[in-house]
Structure 1
Protein backbone atom coordinates (compact mmCIF):
# COMPACT_ATOMS: atom_id res chain seq x y z
CA UNK A 1 0.00 0.00 0.00
CA UNK A 2 1.25 3.53 -0.75
CA UNK A 3 2.00 5.69 2.23
CA UNK A 4 -0.74 8.25 2.76
CA UNK A 5 0.43 11.03 5.01
CA UNK A 6 -1.30 13.94 6.69
CA UNK A 7 -1.20 16.09 3.53
CA UNK A 8 -3.16 13.54 1.48
CA UNK A 9 -6.56 14.40 0.05
CA UNK A 10 -8.09 11.80 2.34
CA UNK A 11 -5.86 10.45 5.13
CA UNK A 12 -6.51 6.92 6.34
CA UNK A 13 -7.86 7.80 9.75
CA UNK A 14 -10.98 9.34 11.29
CA UNK A 15 -11.04 13.08 10.63
CA UNK A 16 -12.28 16.17 12.40
CA UNK A 17 -15.04 18.27 10.87
CA UNK A 18 -12.51 20.84 9.68
CA UNK A 19 -10.36 18.16 8.09
CA UNK A 20 -13.39 16.74 6.30
CA UNK A 21 -14.21 20.13 4.81
CA UNK A 22 -10.58 20.56 3.73
CA UNK A 23 -10.54 17.08 2.19
CA UNK A 24 -13.67 17.87 0.20
CA UNK A 25 -12.07 21.01 -1.23
CA UNK A 26 -8.86 19.15 -2.06
CA UNK A 27 -10.85 16.43 -3.80
CA UNK A 28 -12.74 19.05 -5.81
CA UNK A 29 -9.46 20.63 -6.88
CA UNK A 30 -8.13 17.27 -7.98
CA UNK A 31 -11.23 16.33 -9.99
CA UNK A 32 -12.31 19.82 -11.10
CA UNK A 33 -11.74 19.16 -14.80
CA UNK A 34 -14.61 16.67 -14.71
CA UNK A 35 -16.84 17.80 -11.84
CA UNK A 36 -16.99 21.51 -12.69
CA UNK A 37 -18.03 21.09 -16.37
CA UNK A 38 -20.66 18.57 -15.29
CA UNK A 39 -21.74 21.01 -12.60
CA UNK A 40 -22.11 23.78 -15.17
CA UNK A 41 -24.37 21.69 -17.41
CA UNK A 42 -26.52 20.43 -14.56
CA UNK A 43 -26.78 23.80 -12.80
CA UNK A 44 -27.75 25.57 -16.02
CA UNK A 45 -30.36 22.91 -16.74
CA UNK A 46 -31.74 23.41 -13.25
CA UNK A 47 -32.11 27.16 -13.80
CA UNK A 48 -34.03 26.59 -17.02
CA UNK A 49 -36.22 23.94 -15.36
CA UNK A 50 -37.15 26.21 -12.47
CA UNK A 51 -37.95 29.26 -14.60
CA UNK A 52 -41.61 28.33 -15.32
CA UNK A 53 -42.25 27.83 -11.60
CA UNK A 54 -40.59 31.16 -10.85
CA UNK A 55 -42.95 32.84 -13.28
CA UNK A 56 -45.96 31.14 -11.66
CA UNK A 57 -44.72 32.26 -8.24
CA UNK A 58 -44.32 35.85 -9.44
CA UNK A 59 -40.65 36.02 -8.41
CA UNK A 60 -38.19 38.49 -9.86
CA UNK A 61 -34.41 38.15 -10.31
CA UNK A 62 -31.93 38.19 -8.77
CA UNK A 63 -33.39 37.42 -5.31
CA UNK A 64 -36.45 35.52 -6.60
CA UNK A 65 -38.56 36.83 -3.70
CA UNK A 66 -42.22 35.68 -3.77
CA UNK A 67 -45.34 37.58 -4.67
CA UNK A 68 -47.54 37.79 -1.57
CA UNK A 69 -50.54 36.49 -3.49
CA UNK A 70 -48.71 33.44 -4.85
CA UNK A 71 -47.07 31.98 -1.77
CA UNK A 72 -48.36 28.50 -2.58
CA UNK A 73 -46.52 28.52 -5.88
CA UNK A 74 -43.43 29.86 -4.15
CA UNK A 75 -43.51 27.05 -1.60
CA UNK A 76 -43.70 24.56 -4.46
CA UNK A 77 -40.79 26.35 -6.14
CA UNK A 78 -38.67 25.98 -2.99
CA UNK A 79 -39.51 22.28 -2.70
CA UNK A 80 -38.78 21.53 -6.35
CA UNK A 81 -35.56 23.54 -6.14
CA UNK A 82 -34.50 21.53 -3.09
CA UNK A 83 -35.24 18.32 -4.96
CA UNK A 84 -33.35 19.30 -8.11
CA UNK A 85 -30.23 20.32 -6.23
CA UNK A 86 -30.30 17.11 -4.18
CA UNK A 87 -30.58 15.07 -7.40
CA UNK A 88 -27.72 17.01 -9.02
CA UNK A 89 -25.47 16.51 -6.01
CA UNK A 90 -26.30 12.80 -6.11
CA UNK A 91 -25.37 12.52 -9.81
CA UNK A 92 -22.09 14.34 -9.21
CA UNK A 93 -21.54 12.06 -6.24
CA UNK A 94 -20.70 9.15 -8.54
CA UNK A 95 -17.42 10.52 -9.97
CA UNK A 96 -16.71 12.33 -6.69
CA UNK A 97 -17.00 9.09 -4.70
CA UNK A 98 -14.85 7.14 -7.13
CA UNK A 99 -12.26 9.91 -7.04
CA UNK A 100 -12.34 9.88 -3.24
CA UNK A 101 -11.82 6.12 -3.25
CA UNK A 102 -8.73 6.51 -5.39
CA UNK A 103 -7.49 9.34 -3.14
CA UNK A 104 -7.88 7.11 -0.08
CA UNK A 105 -5.57 4.64 -1.82
CA UNK A 106 -3.00 7.36 -2.42
CA UNK A 107 -3.50 8.33 -6.05
CA UNK A 108 -5.54 10.60 -8.32
CA UNK A 109 -8.12 8.97 -10.55
CA UNK A 110 -8.15 9.83 -14.25
CA UNK A 111 -11.27 11.15 -15.94
CA UNK A 112 -11.77 8.04 -18.06
CA UNK A 113 -11.43 5.86 -15.00
CA UNK A 114 -14.27 7.69 -13.26
CA UNK A 115 -16.65 6.72 -16.06
CA UNK A 116 -15.55 3.08 -16.31
CA UNK A 117 -17.88 0.57 -14.63
CA UNK A 118 -19.57 3.46 -12.81
CA UNK A 119 -23.10 1.98 -12.62
CA UNK A 120 -24.64 5.05 -14.22
CA UNK A 121 -28.17 3.67 -14.83
CA UNK A 122 -28.55 2.82 -11.14
CA UNK A 123 -26.97 6.17 -10.22
CA UNK A 124 -29.49 8.14 -12.26
CA UNK A 125 -32.38 6.13 -10.86
CA UNK A 126 -31.26 6.62 -7.27
CA UNK A 127 -30.56 10.32 -7.91
CA UNK A 128 -34.16 10.70 -9.11
CA UNK A 129 -35.41 8.94 -5.99
CA UNK A 130 -33.26 11.21 -3.80
CA UNK A 131 -34.55 14.30 -5.61
CA UNK A 132 -38.18 13.24 -5.27
CA UNK A 133 -37.73 12.37 -1.60
CA UNK A 134 -36.12 15.71 -0.77
CA UNK A 135 -38.79 17.53 -2.79
CA UNK A 136 -41.58 15.86 -0.83
CA UNK A 137 -39.73 16.55 2.42
CA UNK A 138 -39.39 20.18 1.35
CA UNK A 139 -43.15 20.43 0.94
CA UNK A 140 -43.39 19.44 4.61
CA UNK A 141 -41.09 22.28 5.67
CA UNK A 142 -38.68 21.26 8.45
CA UNK A 143 -38.72 17.65 7.21
CA UNK A 144 -36.27 18.84 4.53
CA UNK A 145 -33.50 18.84 7.13
CA UNK A 146 -34.10 15.18 7.87
CA UNK A 147 -34.41 14.16 4.22
CA UNK A 148 -31.32 15.99 3.08
CA UNK A 149 -29.22 15.00 6.06
CA UNK A 150 -29.95 11.28 5.77
CA UNK A 151 -29.43 10.76 2.02
CA UNK A 152 -25.87 11.93 1.43
CA UNK A 153 -24.32 8.47 1.09
CA UNK A 154 -26.78 7.03 -1.44
CA UNK A 155 -24.53 7.25 -4.50
CA UNK A 156 -21.21 6.72 -2.65
CA UNK A 157 -22.66 3.49 -1.26
CA UNK A 158 -23.58 2.42 -4.79
CA UNK A 159 -20.36 3.51 -6.50
CA UNK A 160 -17.74 2.65 -3.87
CA UNK A 161 -19.26 0.02 -1.59
CA UNK A 162 -20.57 -1.85 -4.66
CA UNK A 163 -23.66 -3.13 -2.92
CA UNK A 164 -26.75 -4.11 -4.95
CA UNK A 165 -29.00 -1.18 -5.72
CA UNK A 166 -31.87 -2.55 -3.62
CA UNK A 167 -29.63 -2.53 -0.54
CA UNK A 168 -28.41 1.03 -1.01
CA UNK A 169 -31.22 2.87 0.88
CA UNK A 170 -30.95 0.71 4.00
CA UNK A 171 -27.18 0.99 4.21
CA UNK A 172 -27.33 4.72 3.55
CA UNK A 173 -29.70 5.33 6.45
CA UNK A 174 -27.65 3.17 8.81
CA UNK A 175 -24.48 5.08 8.00
CA UNK A 176 -26.21 8.45 8.41
CA UNK A 177 -27.38 7.75 11.96
CA UNK A 178 -24.21 6.13 13.29
CA UNK A 179 -22.17 7.95 15.93
CA UNK A 180 -25.20 9.97 16.96
CA UNK A 181 -26.09 11.07 13.44
CA UNK A 182 -22.68 12.64 12.91
CA UNK A 183 -22.62 12.16 9.13
CA UNK A 184 -26.06 13.68 8.65
CA UNK A 185 -25.23 16.67 10.85
CA UNK A 186 -21.96 17.35 9.00
CA UNK A 187 -23.77 17.14 5.67
CA UNK A 188 -26.23 19.80 6.84
CA UNK A 189 -23.38 21.94 8.12
CA UNK A 190 -21.65 21.74 4.76
CA UNK A 191 -24.85 22.68 2.97
CA UNK A 192 -25.37 25.69 5.21
CA UNK A 193 -21.82 26.90 4.62
CA UNK A 194 -22.11 26.63 0.85
CA UNK A 195 -25.60 28.20 0.94
CA UNK A 196 -24.10 31.30 2.54
CA UNK A 197 -21.31 31.35 -0.05
CA UNK A 198 -23.80 30.99 -2.90
CA UNK A 199 -26.01 33.72 -1.50
CA UNK A 200 -23.10 36.12 -1.06
CA UNK A 201 -21.65 35.55 -4.52
CA UNK A 202 -24.97 35.40 -6.34
CA UNK A 203 -26.34 38.65 -4.92
CA UNK A 204 -22.94 40.31 -4.60
CA UNK A 205 -22.26 40.17 -8.34
CA UNK A 206 -25.65 41.65 -9.16
CA UNK A 207 -25.41 44.56 -6.73
CA UNK A 208 -21.76 45.09 -7.66
CA UNK A 209 -22.75 45.56 -11.28
CA UNK A 210 -25.48 47.94 -10.13
CA UNK A 211 -23.00 50.06 -8.20
CA UNK A 212 -20.72 50.31 -11.22
CA UNK A 213 -23.59 51.74 -13.27
CA UNK A 214 -22.11 50.62 -16.58
CA UNK A 215 -25.49 49.75 -18.12
CA UNK A 216 -29.16 49.37 -17.27
CA UNK A 217 -29.53 46.02 -15.51
CA UNK A 218 -33.32 45.71 -15.79
CA UNK A 219 -33.51 44.45 -19.41
CA UNK A 220 -30.76 41.93 -18.63
CA UNK A 221 -32.01 40.84 -15.22
CA UNK A 222 -33.10 37.33 -16.20
CA UNK A 223 -30.04 36.26 -18.24
CA UNK A 224 -27.61 37.81 -15.74
CA UNK A 225 -29.33 36.13 -12.79
CA UNK A 226 -29.54 32.79 -14.63
CA UNK A 227 -25.86 32.79 -15.56
CA UNK A 228 -24.81 34.03 -12.11
CA UNK A 229 -26.73 31.42 -10.12
CA UNK A 230 -25.76 28.66 -12.54
CA UNK A 231 -22.10 29.66 -12.21
CA UNK A 232 -22.21 29.75 -8.42
CA UNK A 233 -24.01 26.42 -8.19
CA UNK A 234 -21.60 24.88 -10.69
CA UNK A 235 -18.95 25.11 -7.97
CA UNK A 236 -21.15 24.55 -4.93
CA UNK A 237 -22.81 21.35 -6.15
CA UNK A 238 -19.54 19.52 -6.96
CA UNK A 239 -18.12 20.72 -3.63
CA UNK A 240 -21.10 19.25 -1.76
CA UNK A 241 -20.79 16.02 -3.75
CA UNK A 242 -17.12 15.84 -2.75
CA UNK A 243 -18.10 16.38 0.88
CA UNK A 244 -20.56 13.48 0.63
CA UNK A 245 -17.82 11.30 -0.84
CA UNK A 246 -15.15 11.96 1.78
CA UNK A 247 -17.73 11.91 4.58
CA UNK A 248 -18.89 8.47 3.48
CA UNK A 249 -15.39 6.99 3.47
CA UNK A 250 -14.52 8.69 6.75
CA UNK A 251 -17.67 7.26 8.32
CA UNK A 252 -16.62 3.82 7.19
CA UNK A 253 -13.18 4.33 8.73
CA UNK A 254 -14.70 5.63 11.94
CA UNK A 255 -17.39 2.99 12.37
CA UNK A 256 -16.30 0.00 10.28
CA UNK A 257 -12.50 0.12 10.49
CA UNK A 258 -11.99 0.62 6.76
CA UNK A 259 -8.53 2.08 7.38
CA UNK A 260 -7.53 -1.06 9.30
CA UNK A 261 -8.90 -3.31 6.55
CA UNK A 262 -6.84 -1.45 3.96
CA UNK A 263 -3.65 -1.74 6.01
CA UNK A 264 -4.13 -5.51 6.33
CA UNK A 265 -5.19 -6.20 2.73
CA UNK A 266 -2.89 -8.50 0.74
CA UNK A 267 -0.69 -6.83 -1.86
CA UNK A 268 -2.14 -6.85 -5.34
CA UNK A 269 -5.77 -6.82 -4.26
CA UNK A 270 -7.83 -4.94 -6.92
CA UNK A 271 -8.96 -1.50 -5.78
CA UNK A 272 -12.71 -2.14 -6.21
CA UNK A 273 -12.36 -5.18 -3.97
CA UNK A 274 -10.43 -3.18 -1.38
CA UNK A 275 -13.22 -0.63 -1.00
CA UNK A 276 -16.24 -2.86 -1.53
CA UNK A 277 -18.33 -3.93 1.44
CA UNK A 278 -17.91 -7.60 2.20
CA UNK A 279 -21.15 -9.47 1.75
Structure 2
Protein backbone atom coordinates (compact mmCIF):
# COMPACT_ATOMS: atom_id res chain seq x y z
CA UNK A 1 0.00 0.00 0.00
CA UNK A 2 1.36 3.46 -0.81
CA UNK A 3 2.67 5.37 2.17
CA UNK A 4 0.61 8.36 3.23
CA UNK A 5 1.99 11.57 1.85
CA UNK A 6 1.94 13.55 -1.34
CA UNK A 7 5.00 11.93 -2.91
CA UNK A 8 3.74 8.36 -2.36
CA UNK A 9 0.53 8.63 -4.36
CA UNK A 10 2.03 6.49 -7.09
CA UNK A 11 5.23 4.54 -6.32
CA UNK A 12 7.60 3.62 -9.15
CA UNK A 13 6.53 -0.01 -9.34
CA UNK A 14 3.60 -2.15 -10.49
CA UNK A 15 0.72 -2.04 -8.00
CA UNK A 16 -1.94 -4.47 -6.89
CA UNK A 17 -5.60 -3.71 -7.51
CA UNK A 18 -6.08 -2.60 -3.92
CA UNK A 19 -3.04 -0.33 -4.09
CA UNK A 20 -4.34 1.25 -7.29
CA UNK A 21 -7.69 2.03 -5.68
CA UNK A 22 -5.87 3.46 -2.65
CA UNK A 23 -3.64 5.55 -4.89
CA UNK A 24 -6.66 7.00 -6.68
CA UNK A 25 -8.16 8.03 -3.34
CA UNK A 26 -4.85 9.56 -2.24
CA UNK A 27 -4.67 11.55 -5.46
CA UNK A 28 -8.25 12.74 -5.00
CA UNK A 29 -7.53 13.78 -1.43
CA UNK A 30 -4.47 15.68 -2.61
CA UNK A 31 -6.39 17.52 -5.35
CA UNK A 32 -9.87 17.69 -3.80
CA UNK A 33 -9.93 21.49 -3.53
CA UNK A 34 -9.56 21.68 -7.31
CA UNK A 35 -11.47 18.66 -8.57
CA UNK A 36 -14.48 18.55 -6.25
CA UNK A 37 -15.79 22.11 -6.86
CA UNK A 38 -15.47 21.69 -10.62
CA UNK A 39 -17.15 18.30 -10.41
CA UNK A 40 -20.00 19.72 -8.34
CA UNK A 41 -20.75 22.43 -10.91
CA UNK A 42 -20.73 19.88 -13.73
CA UNK A 43 -22.74 17.32 -11.74
CA UNK A 44 -25.34 19.91 -10.73
CA UNK A 45 -25.73 20.99 -14.35
CA UNK A 46 -26.12 17.34 -15.30
CA UNK A 47 -28.83 16.76 -12.68
CA UNK A 48 -30.86 19.96 -13.08
CA UNK A 49 -30.45 20.81 -16.75
CA UNK A 50 -29.85 17.52 -18.54
CA UNK A 51 -31.38 14.62 -16.65
CA UNK A 52 -34.35 16.13 -14.83
CA UNK A 53 -36.38 16.99 -17.97
CA UNK A 54 -35.80 13.44 -19.21
CA UNK A 55 -36.81 12.00 -15.85
CA UNK A 56 -40.08 13.89 -16.04
CA UNK A 57 -40.67 12.55 -19.54
CA UNK A 58 -39.87 9.01 -18.41
CA UNK A 59 -42.09 9.20 -15.32
CA UNK A 60 -39.35 8.32 -12.82
CA UNK A 61 -39.42 9.39 -9.18
CA UNK A 62 -36.65 10.09 -6.66
CA UNK A 63 -34.51 9.00 -4.99
CA UNK A 64 -33.35 6.17 -7.28
CA UNK A 65 -35.26 7.20 -10.42
CA UNK A 66 -36.42 3.69 -11.34
CA UNK A 67 -39.02 3.33 -14.08
CA UNK A 68 -42.50 2.98 -12.58
CA UNK A 69 -45.39 3.45 -14.99
CA UNK A 70 -43.75 5.68 -17.57
CA UNK A 71 -42.47 4.98 -21.06
CA UNK A 72 -39.67 2.45 -21.37
CA UNK A 73 -38.44 4.20 -24.50
CA UNK A 74 -38.15 7.51 -22.65
CA UNK A 75 -36.43 5.72 -19.77
CA UNK A 76 -33.88 4.18 -22.14
CA UNK A 77 -33.15 7.63 -23.55
CA UNK A 78 -32.66 8.84 -19.97
CA UNK A 79 -30.15 6.06 -19.26
CA UNK A 80 -28.31 6.71 -22.51
CA UNK A 81 -28.12 10.44 -21.84
CA UNK A 82 -26.89 9.81 -18.30
CA UNK A 83 -24.13 7.56 -19.59
CA UNK A 84 -23.15 10.23 -22.12
CA UNK A 85 -23.09 13.03 -19.56
CA UNK A 86 -21.09 11.19 -16.92
CA UNK A 87 -18.54 9.99 -19.48
CA UNK A 88 -18.02 13.57 -20.65
CA UNK A 89 -17.63 14.87 -17.09
CA UNK A 90 -15.11 12.17 -16.15
CA UNK A 91 -13.15 12.88 -19.34
CA UNK A 92 -13.03 16.62 -18.58
CA UNK A 93 -11.93 15.98 -15.00
CA UNK A 94 -9.37 13.56 -16.37
CA UNK A 95 -7.28 16.47 -17.64
CA UNK A 96 -6.38 18.01 -14.24
CA UNK A 97 -6.38 14.57 -12.59
CA UNK A 98 -3.85 13.25 -15.10
CA UNK A 99 -1.63 16.30 -14.71
CA UNK A 100 -1.75 15.93 -10.92
CA UNK A 101 -0.99 12.21 -11.20
CA UNK A 102 2.01 12.90 -13.41
CA UNK A 103 3.36 15.39 -10.89
CA UNK A 104 2.84 12.89 -8.06
CA UNK A 105 4.73 10.23 -10.01
CA UNK A 106 7.64 12.66 -10.27
CA UNK A 107 7.63 13.20 -6.51
CA UNK A 108 5.79 16.46 -6.03
CA UNK A 109 2.32 17.85 -5.41
CA UNK A 110 0.82 19.83 -8.28
CA UNK A 111 -0.48 23.27 -7.36
CA UNK A 112 -4.14 24.11 -8.08
CA UNK A 113 -3.26 26.68 -10.70
CA UNK A 114 -0.88 24.26 -12.37
CA UNK A 115 -3.42 21.53 -13.10
CA UNK A 116 -5.88 24.06 -14.55
CA UNK A 117 -3.44 26.26 -16.44
CA UNK A 118 -3.94 26.51 -20.17
CA UNK A 119 -0.24 26.21 -20.94
CA UNK A 120 0.43 22.63 -21.94
CA UNK A 121 -3.03 21.55 -20.84
CA UNK A 122 -4.42 20.83 -24.30
CA UNK A 123 -7.83 21.95 -23.06
CA UNK A 124 -9.27 22.41 -26.52
CA UNK A 125 -8.41 18.84 -27.43
CA UNK A 126 -9.73 17.67 -24.06
CA UNK A 127 -13.12 19.24 -24.71
CA UNK A 128 -13.16 17.74 -28.19
CA UNK A 129 -12.37 14.26 -26.93
CA UNK A 130 -14.82 14.61 -24.04
CA UNK A 131 -17.50 15.09 -26.69
CA UNK A 132 -16.16 12.11 -28.64
CA UNK A 133 -16.05 9.91 -25.54
CA UNK A 134 -19.54 11.04 -24.55
CA UNK A 135 -20.88 10.22 -27.98
CA UNK A 136 -19.24 6.80 -28.05
CA UNK A 137 -20.50 5.97 -24.57
CA UNK A 138 -23.99 7.16 -25.48
CA UNK A 139 -24.07 4.81 -28.46
CA UNK A 140 -22.64 2.00 -26.34
CA UNK A 141 -25.22 2.58 -23.60
CA UNK A 142 -28.02 2.60 -26.15
CA UNK A 143 -26.83 -0.87 -27.18
CA UNK A 144 -27.05 -2.13 -23.60
CA UNK A 145 -24.17 -4.41 -22.55
CA UNK A 146 -21.83 -2.74 -25.05
CA UNK A 147 -21.54 0.03 -22.43
CA UNK A 148 -19.27 -2.21 -20.35
CA UNK A 149 -16.86 -2.59 -23.26
CA UNK A 150 -16.84 1.13 -24.02
CA UNK A 151 -16.28 2.16 -20.43
CA UNK A 152 -13.44 -0.32 -20.03
CA UNK A 153 -11.64 0.94 -23.14
CA UNK A 154 -11.83 4.73 -22.88
CA UNK A 155 -10.32 5.57 -19.49
CA UNK A 156 -6.92 6.63 -20.80
CA UNK A 157 -8.14 9.26 -23.26
CA UNK A 158 -7.34 12.30 -21.10
CA UNK A 159 -4.01 10.92 -19.81
CA UNK A 160 -2.96 10.05 -23.36
CA UNK A 161 -3.62 13.66 -24.31
CA UNK A 162 -1.97 15.52 -21.45
CA UNK A 163 0.62 13.07 -20.10
CA UNK A 164 1.67 11.01 -23.12
CA UNK A 165 1.08 14.01 -25.40
CA UNK A 166 0.36 11.85 -28.42
CA UNK A 167 -1.06 13.39 -31.59
CA UNK A 168 -4.84 13.69 -31.82
CA UNK A 169 -5.32 10.82 -34.30
CA UNK A 170 -3.45 8.51 -31.91
CA UNK A 171 -5.40 9.32 -28.74
CA UNK A 172 -8.16 6.73 -29.06
CA UNK A 173 -5.86 3.94 -30.34
CA UNK A 174 -3.43 4.70 -27.51
CA UNK A 175 -6.20 4.63 -24.89
CA UNK A 176 -7.67 1.35 -26.10
CA UNK A 177 -4.24 -0.25 -26.45
CA UNK A 178 -3.36 0.54 -22.83
CA UNK A 179 -6.75 -0.67 -21.60
CA UNK A 180 -6.36 -4.05 -23.29
CA UNK A 181 -2.79 -4.84 -22.23
CA UNK A 182 -2.08 -7.64 -19.75
CA UNK A 183 -5.39 -9.34 -20.41
CA UNK A 184 -7.39 -6.10 -20.33
CA UNK A 185 -6.23 -5.49 -16.78
CA UNK A 186 -6.64 -1.70 -16.78
CA UNK A 187 -10.05 -1.89 -18.41
CA UNK A 188 -11.35 -4.40 -15.89
CA UNK A 189 -10.02 -2.40 -12.94
CA UNK A 190 -11.74 0.68 -14.33
CA UNK A 191 -15.02 -1.23 -14.46
CA UNK A 192 -14.46 -2.45 -10.91
CA UNK A 193 -13.93 1.12 -9.74
CA UNK A 194 -17.08 2.30 -11.49
CA UNK A 195 -19.23 -0.46 -10.00
CA UNK A 196 -17.90 0.26 -6.52
CA UNK A 197 -18.61 3.97 -6.82
CA UNK A 198 -22.04 3.28 -8.38
CA UNK A 199 -23.02 1.26 -5.31
CA UNK A 200 -21.78 4.05 -3.04
CA UNK A 201 -23.59 6.71 -5.06
CA UNK A 202 -26.92 4.92 -4.95
CA UNK A 203 -26.55 4.07 -1.27
CA UNK A 204 -25.51 7.54 -0.12
CA UNK A 205 -27.89 9.60 -2.25
CA UNK A 206 -30.95 7.44 -1.63
CA UNK A 207 -30.03 7.00 2.04
CA UNK A 208 -29.85 10.75 2.65
CA UNK A 209 -33.16 11.40 0.92
CA UNK A 210 -35.04 8.51 2.51
CA UNK A 211 -33.53 9.27 5.91
CA UNK A 212 -34.64 12.89 5.82
CA UNK A 213 -38.11 11.81 4.71
CA UNK A 214 -38.46 9.22 7.46
CA UNK A 215 -37.41 11.77 10.08
CA UNK A 216 -39.97 14.26 8.82
CA UNK A 217 -37.27 16.77 7.94
CA UNK A 218 -38.02 16.93 4.22
CA UNK A 219 -41.07 18.85 3.09
CA UNK A 220 -42.68 17.47 -0.06
CA UNK A 221 -42.11 20.79 -1.84
CA UNK A 222 -38.37 20.41 -1.34
CA UNK A 223 -38.12 16.69 -2.04
CA UNK A 224 -37.16 17.07 -5.69
CA UNK A 225 -34.49 19.80 -5.40
CA UNK A 226 -32.97 18.09 -2.36
CA UNK A 227 -32.83 14.81 -4.29
CA UNK A 228 -31.11 16.50 -7.22
CA UNK A 229 -28.63 18.24 -4.92
CA UNK A 230 -27.92 15.00 -3.08
CA UNK A 231 -27.09 13.22 -6.32
CA UNK A 232 -24.97 16.15 -7.49
CA UNK A 233 -23.07 16.15 -4.18
CA UNK A 234 -22.39 12.42 -4.30
CA UNK A 235 -21.33 12.60 -7.94
CA UNK A 236 -19.02 15.52 -7.15
CA UNK A 237 -16.92 12.99 -5.24
CA UNK A 238 -17.46 9.95 -7.46
CA UNK A 239 -16.63 11.62 -10.77
CA UNK A 240 -13.23 13.02 -9.73
CA UNK A 241 -12.47 9.75 -7.94
CA UNK A 242 -12.98 7.90 -11.21
CA UNK A 243 -10.88 10.49 -13.06
CA UNK A 244 -8.10 9.97 -10.50
CA UNK A 245 -8.40 6.22 -10.95
CA UNK A 246 -7.95 6.73 -14.70
CA UNK A 247 -4.82 8.78 -14.03
CA UNK A 248 -3.12 6.29 -11.72
CA UNK A 249 -4.21 3.33 -13.87
CA UNK A 250 -2.67 4.96 -16.91
CA UNK A 251 0.67 5.63 -15.27
CA UNK A 252 0.79 2.25 -13.54
CA UNK A 253 0.03 0.49 -16.83
CA UNK A 254 2.93 2.34 -18.44
CA UNK A 255 5.17 1.28 -15.56
CA UNK A 256 3.98 -2.31 -15.85
CA UNK A 257 4.11 -2.65 -19.64
CA UNK A 258 6.49 0.05 -20.91
CA UNK A 259 9.07 0.27 -18.13
CA UNK A 260 8.23 3.88 -17.34
CA UNK A 261 9.84 3.53 -13.91
CA UNK A 262 13.13 2.48 -15.53
CA UNK A 263 12.90 5.33 -18.00
CA UNK A 264 12.38 7.81 -15.16
CA UNK A 265 15.39 6.44 -13.30
CA UNK A 266 17.59 6.95 -16.37
CA UNK A 267 16.33 10.44 -17.20
CA UNK A 268 18.99 13.15 -16.79
CA UNK A 269 18.30 15.73 -14.12
CA UNK A 270 16.72 18.90 -15.42
CA UNK A 271 14.74 17.25 -18.22
CA UNK A 272 11.37 19.06 -18.58
CA UNK A 273 8.49 17.06 -17.12
CA UNK A 274 6.42 16.92 -20.34
CA UNK A 275 9.44 15.47 -22.11
CA UNK A 276 10.06 12.97 -19.30
CA UNK A 277 6.58 11.47 -19.55
CA UNK A 278 5.93 11.79 -23.29
CA UNK A 279 5.10 8.44 -24.82
CA UNK A 280 7.32 8.81 -27.89
CA UNK A 281 10.62 9.84 -26.40
Distance, in Å, in 1 between the alignment partners of 2:62 and 2:40 is: 20
Partner of 2:171: 168
Question: Which ranges in structure 1 are unaligned for 5 or more consecutive residues?
Answer: none
Structure 1 position 6, deviation (Å): 4.7
Partner of 1:273: 275
Partner of 2:116: 115
The answer to which of 17-26 and 111-120 deviates more is 111-120
Structure 1 position 115, deviation (Å): 2.3
Matched, 1:105 2:106: yes
Partner of 2:258: 256
Distance, in Å, in 1 between the alignment partners of 2:168 and 2:10 is: 26
Aligned residue for 1:61, secondary structure, equals coil
Structure 1 position 69, deviation (Å): 4.2
Matched, 1:233 2:235: yes
State the Cα deviation string for residues 100-120 of structure 1 (Å, max 9, x = none).
Answer: 000000000011111232000
Matched, 1:158 2:161: yes
Question: Which ranges in structure 2 are unaligned for 5 or more consecutive residues?
Answer: none
Structure 1 position 215, deviation (Å): 4.5
Q: Is the 8 A contact 2:63 2:210 kept in 1?
A: no
Distance, in Å, in 2 between the alignment partners of 1:224 and 1:251 is: 40
Structure 1 position 219, deviation (Å): 1.7
Partner of 2:207: 204
Partner of 1:51: 52
Distance, in Å, in 2 between the alignment partners of 1:169 and 1:18 is: 27
Distance, in Å, in 2 between the alignment partners of 1:51 and 1:264 is: 53
Structure 1 position 211, deviation (Å): 2.0
Distance, in Å, in 2 between the alignment partners of 1:254 and 1:44 is: 37
Q: Is the 8 A contact 2:47 2:228 kept in 1?
A: yes
Distance, in Å, in 1 between the alignment partners of 2:60 and 2:109 is: 43
Matched, 1:214 2:217: yes
Partner of 1:130: 133
Structure 1 position 43, deviation (Å): 0.2
Name the CA shift for 1:142/1:250 in 2 (closer, same or farther; >3 Å).
same
State the Cα deviation string for residues 220-254 of structure 1 (Å, max 9, x = none).
Answer: 12101110000000000000000000000000000
Name the CA shift for 1:79/1:100 in 2 (closer, same or farther; >3 Å).
same
Q: Is the 8 A contact 2:24 2:244 kept in 1?
A: yes
What TM-score, normalized by structure 1, do the two folds share? 0.96
Q: Is the 8 A contact 2:40 2:233 kept in 1?
A: yes
- List structure 1 runs of 4+ shifted beyond 3 angstroms: none
State the Cα deviation string for residues 36-82 of structure 1 (Å, max 9, x = none).
Answer: 01001100010121111111101112221213340111011001101
Structure 1 position 213, deviation (Å): 1.4
Partner of 2:247: 245
Structure 1 position 207, deviation (Å): 1.2
Count of paired positions = 274
Distance, in Å, in 2 between the alignment partners of 1:215 and 1:272 is: 51
What TM-score, normalized by structure 2, do the two folds share? 0.95
Partner of 1:143: 146
Distance, in Å, in 2 between the alignment partners of 1:256 and 1:213 is: 57
Structure 1 position 205, deviation (Å): 0.2
